[in-house]
Structure 1
Amino acid sequence: MANTTSAKKATRKIARRTEVNKARRSRMRTFVRKVEDALASGNKTAATEALKAAEPVLMRAAQKGVVHKRSASRKVARLTQALSKLA
């Protein structure tokens, strides 16, 4: 358990930040899942729209430090590649 006042405050800040990051990660995964579902169903227009919505969410998560920048870029690139193969 934290002893000093500053350590107690740090614990509170970490708890708040964890909740925010959890929400961002969940939101990111939901958007990615929507793209993957649209790709699996073979619906190109729905997949395009879902990817267009998912890309900023992924990049924002990377910008906020929820995932690494390269991980987000790789995920977007792979989804885009899968979409182009759908033709």
Structure 2
Amino acid sequence: MANTPQAKKRIRRNQARAVVNGNRVGRIRTFIKKVEAALAAGDKAAATTALAEAQPELARGVAKGVLHRNTASRKFSRLTKRLATLG
């Protein structure tokens, strides 16, 4: 249990940041799911636009520290590869 004031404040801050970061990760997952849904449907045009929208979200997740840069790079690479094989 936290005894010092700064430890108590740190707990409050961590809880608040966890909510923000969770929302950020959820938003990234939503963008990725849009790309995957378009790929599954075989719609190359929709998949291309969805991938173009997902890429900045992945980059923003890396910049904000909720995703590792290699994770974002791997996800984008695999989605791009799947899009290339679609055509």
TM-score normalised by structure 2 residue count: 0.97
Residue 34 (str. 1) matches residue 34 (str. 2) = yes
Partner of 2:21: 21
Separation of aligned partners in 2, 1:62 and 1:36: 20
How much does 1:63 deviate? 1.4
The letter for the 1-side match of 2:35 is V
Secondary structure (helix, strand or coil) at the match of 1:61 reads helix
Aligned length: 87
Match of 1:47 in 2: 47
RMSD of aligned residue pairs (Cα, Å):
0.6
What is the letter of the counterpart of residue 4 of structure 1?
A: T
Which stretch shifts more, 33-42 or 61-70? 61-70
**1:41-77 deviations in whole A, cap 9, x for unaligned?**
0000000000000000011111111110010011001
2: CA distance, partners of 1:53 / 1:35? 9
Q: 1-side partners of 2:5 and 2:66: how far apart?
A: 28
Q: Identity, % of aligned pairs?
A: 53
Q: Which amino acid aligns with 2:22?
A: K
Gaps of 5+ in 1: none
